[in-house]
Amino acid sequence: MSQKTVEIVVYGADQLCPSCVHLPSSKETYEWLEAAISRKYTNQPFTITYIDIYNPPNDVEKRKFAERVIDEEMFYPVVLLGGNIVGEGNPRLKTIFAEMEKYGYQAES
């Protein structure tokens, strides 16, 4: 099965969200996800981007979603995979891996 390179976008902020006090920061979550996904899907390309919701890039779609995270008071980090929300606040690897496998990613055995 051919696979397209999946884009994972982690939306977060430097300060922790009020209900996420005992969780890692958005940036730490982004780094942890990148390492975990790279280990699980060796030599299978994907892109992962971190977006600060209070300082989003000029990309219209990413800026709109960053505003949505703030407006809807979502628990961040919010993890998007292929445009779908796969994690909020404390993302679960199992959920993210299951979504990646829908795109043809296969765990290295």
* 27-64 pLDDT, tens digit each: 999 999 999 999 999 999 999 999 999 999 999 999 99
Q: What CA–CA distance (Å, rounded) separates 103 from 44? A: 11
Provide the pLDDT confidence category of residue 1 given band limits of 50, 70 and 90. Answer: very low
As assigned by CATH, the class of the 6-102 domain is alpha beta
Question: Which helix (H) or strand (E) covers residue 67, if one does?
Answer: helix 60-71
Q: What CA–CA distance (Å, rounded) separates 20 from 89? A: 7
Q: Say whether the peptide bond before residue 56 is cis (omega within 30 degrees of 0).
A: no
From the list 68, 50, 72, the residue with the least C-alpha distance to 60 is 68
pTM confidence score? 0.90
Six-digit token pair at 58? 């000029």
